[in-house]
Amino acid sequence: MTNDIEAWKITACALGELEGAEAEAVARAIGEDPSLAREVDSIRLRADRLTAILAAEPAVPPAPPRAPRRPTVARIGRWVFTPLSLTEACAAAAMLVAAIGFGMSAWKDYLLEANFDRALAFSASNQLGTAREALTSAMAGRGSDEWPYPLLLSAKIDVEEGNLDEGERAYEQLKTVKVAEDGWTRQHVASVFVGLGCVYLRRYDDSLESGKPNAQLLEKAKAAFGEAQTNDDKCLEAGIGLAHAALRRGWDGSTTPGKINPDAIEIASKELKKVDAAGLTPTIDGLVDKYMAQGRIAYEKEDYTGAELEFRRAFELQPSWKAPFANVAFMMARSFIASTTSRLDEMAAKQQEYDEFVQRLESLYDSDPQRYTVFRQAMYSVCNSIGYAFAKGYRLDAGFNYLDRALSFEGQKPTVYINKADIYYYYSRSNKFEESQQINYANCAREQWSRAAEVCRSSNQPRKRFLCLMNKAIILYAMRPTDPTYQEMANADLQAIAREFPNEPLLLRNQGMVFYEEGKITEAAKAWGDAVAAAQKSPMSDEEKAKFDEEMEKLKADAAAGK
């Protein structure tokens, strides 16, 4: 036992902190040594005095009384530009979430009120999981049928978390709350309709992503926002929602600016002008939505500087939302046109800025992963967009470095592999390289498509997997259709795909082409016939079927003409 330890034990003994044999041993030592006994007395004296002194420390005042709450609108419309792929460059996603109003007067219980407050605060700072926990406690303390406000917040969180069914159900239930009950006003009713509009917009985005845009959902969103305006003509968020709906209605899945329906831009601009003309300031979240819509309009008009400015405004107001962040980065990268030399040089000059941007996202994420979970997706998007652009501009190392970083953020998505494959495919077709290099790049593309297909399998994306496998199967054959080695490779690959995806029109079409090049005319004709028949039974839209038929007719005609 060292002197130090003995010393602390004497203090502990003096304060009554020792127990059992240890206490007895130290007490015995004190009893045998008068100087130790005096020290113990001194310690007890100091302890009493210290306790008295510390009791006088000023108290922290309780939180000041809250100002009466006004109905506030909590969020959002957002466009997220996703990284480029061969056939699509950017996607829009929007989420408008409900307005939350409060009538706290009837809610006296401190802890329940605190729970609801915390839920609101966590929700406002995007800590949805924690907000949900707090809200659950609040709702357990008071039934939702008795008090609609927590249900309104719950609906908002559901929508933000992507539980659209739950969110919609809650909003539908809230539609039955009568004005004047529990302080429920027309503004609250408007909030409910804004929330419903957001649900429909999200559903529309999902339908768009699945390749089957459902225009009815946009109409429902428009109607909901209109209903919100009917209930509260000062509901600016409804106008902003209408602008987002208009921009989506005009979006036809095209990848480059200028393809959006000009009428849609005009309608959206008019809605936003009405918001300005109202002379009222939307809530912070509403403003973010507004800037996001304005940014989108500027983007569509190819005013990239203006778009970047609007997105920057949005992200300065809501730094924890990923979409403004990601869109600023996307505008900085402008990767869809980065293959032109001037853009690429501009991008290279900005590389440090991109790095700082990603670093900022990363440090925010590291500081609080729960709060900034959404930034993983943002970092992924930014790195993917920038990486693709650099690589497409023949800065392969820099580009792939970014793409690998993207992979580290979202390894379960096939997009990075698809983009890498796309880059290699692009190189394999580029005159910048010798033929042997082109073949080498094509093989690299095959490898990346293979990896993408594996990720698609594990993430249950069969259609994407099919397309990856198809690309892999035909890239070399497409370069040298008359080369028997590549014909054989393509045949083997296509047969393997056919086992997994029987009766796929595109597969049968390609099989027919390989047969034709091999001189197997009968087989080719049969495969093409099967392709047309399969297309009729496939879930393709009528328009797609007609287009496919037209293409097949041309193929058959070319074959007949010996082309």
Backbone angles phi, psi at 100, to 5 degrees: -115, 125
Angle of CA points 216, 193, 187, to nearest 5°: 160
Contact pick of 21, 63, 67, 349 for other proteins (by CB under 8 A): 63
Asked if 55 touches other proteins (CB under 8 A), the answer is: yes
Asked if 23 touches other proteins (CB under 8 A), the answer is: no
Q: Choose between 41 and 266: whose C-beta lies nearer to other proteins.
A: 41
Angle of CA points 48, 51, 52, to nearest 5°: 90
Q: Choose between 50 and 215: whose C-beta lies nearer to other proteins.
A: 50
Asked if 68 touches other proteins (CB under 8 A), the answer is: no
- Under rule CB under 8 A, which residues in 93-122 are in contact with other proteins? 109-111, 114-115, 117-118
* Antiparallel, parallel or unpaired: β 72-73 and 99-100: antiparallel
Asked if 17 touches other proteins (CB under 8 A), the answer is: yes
Q: Choose between 210 and 359: whose C-beta lies nearer to other proteins.
A: 359
Asked if 57 touches other proteins (CB under 8 A), the answer is: yes
Asked if 61 touches other proteins (CB under 8 A), the answer is: yes
Supply the DSSP string of 203-220, one letter for each residue.
HHHHHHHTT---HHHHHH
Q: Choose between 11 and 503: whose C-beta lies nearer to other proteins.
A: 11
Contact pick of 3, 20, 35, 54 for other proteins (by CB under 8 A): 54
Asked if 66 touches other proteins (CB under 8 A), the answer is: no
Q: Choose between 62 and 562: whose C-beta lies nearer to other proteins.
A: 62
- The count of residues interacting with other proteins (CB under 8 A) is 41
DSSP 103: -
Q: From residue 35, how far is each of 24, 137, 305 by CA, in Å?
A: 18, 58, 81
Contact pick of 25, 37, 45, 179 for other proteins (by CB under 8 A): 45
Minimum gap (Å) between residue 127 Cβ and other proteins: 11
Supply the DSSP string of 269-320, one letter for each residue.
HHHHHHHHHTT-PPPHHHHHHHHHHHHHHHHHTT-HHHHHHHHHHHHHH-TT
Contact pick of 3, 35, 51, 431 for other proteins (by CB under 8 A): 51
Q: Choose between 134 and 507: whose C-beta lies nearer to other proteins.
A: 134
H/E/C letters for each residue in 46-93?
HHHHHHHHHHCCCCCCCCCCCCCCCCEECCCCCCCCCCCCCCCCCCCC
Q: Choose between 29 and 43: whose C-beta lies nearer to other proteins.
A: 43
Angle of CA points 169, 174, 175, to nearest 5°: 100
Q: Are 328 and 382 in contact (CB under 8 A)?
A: no
Which pairs count as long-range contacts for 541-548, CB under 8 Å and 24+ apart, including other chains?
541/212, 548/505, 548/509
Half-sphere exposure (Cβ direction) of 527: Cα atoms closer than 13 Å: 23
Asked if 21 touches other proteins (CB under 8 A), the answer is: no
Rounded to whole angstroms, the Cα distance separating 524 from 519 reads: 9
Segment lying near other proteins (by CB under 8 A), choices 48-56, 280-288, 449-457, 479-487: 48-56
Rounded to whole angstroms, the Cα distance separating 450 from 468 reads: 7
Q: Are 409 and 383 in contact (CB under 8 A)?
A: yes
Asked if 7 touches other proteins (CB under 8 A), the answer is: yes
Q: Are 123 and 131 in contact (CB under 8 A)?
A: yes
Q: Choose between 140 and 496: whose C-beta lies nearer to other proteins.
A: 140
Asked if 65 touches other proteins (CB under 8 A), the answer is: no
Minimum gap (Å) between residue 220 Cβ and other proteins: 37
Helices 462-479 and 435-458, axial angle in degrees (round to 10):
170
Give the dihedral of Cα atoms 177, 181, 183, 184; nearest 10 deg. 20
Contact pick of 41, 266, 368, 550 for other proteins (by CB under 8 A): 368
Q: Choose between 11 and 173: whose C-beta lies nearer to other proteins.
A: 11
Q: Is the dihedral of CA 393, 396, 399, 403 positive or negative?
A: positive
Segment lying near other proteins (by CB under 8 A), choices 6-14, 155-163, 319-327, 381-389: 6-14
Contact pick of 88, 133, 166, 346 for other proteins (by CB under 8 A): 133
Segment lying near other proteins (by CB under 8 A), choices 41-49, 338-346, 376-384, 534-542: 41-49
Contact pick of 21, 60, 180, 277 for other proteins (by CB under 8 A): 60
Minimum gap (Å) between residue 188 Cβ and other proteins: 26
Segment lying near other proteins (by CB under 8 A), choices 45-53, 465-473, 516-524, 550-558: 45-53
- The residues facing 72 across adjacent strands are 100
Asked if 59 touches other proteins (CB under 8 A), the answer is: yes
Angle of CA points 433, 439, 442, to nearest 5°: 105
Asked if 29 touches other proteins (CB under 8 A), the answer is: no
Minimum gap (Å) between residue 44 Cβ and other proteins: 10
Supply the DSSP string of 226-245, one letter for each residue.
HHHHHH-TT-HHHHHHHHHH
| Residue 249: Cβ within 10 Å count | 21
Asked if 1 touches other proteins (CB under 8 A), the answer is: no
Minimum gap (Å) between residue 101 Cβ and other proteins: 22
CA-closest candidate to residue 186, choices 200, 198, 175: 175
- Under rule CB under 8 A, which residues in 491-530 are in contact with other proteins? none
Site residues for other proteins per CB under 8 A: 4-5, 7-12, 15, 17, 42-43, 45-47, 49-51, 53-63, 109-111, 114-115, 117-118, 133-134, 137, 367-368
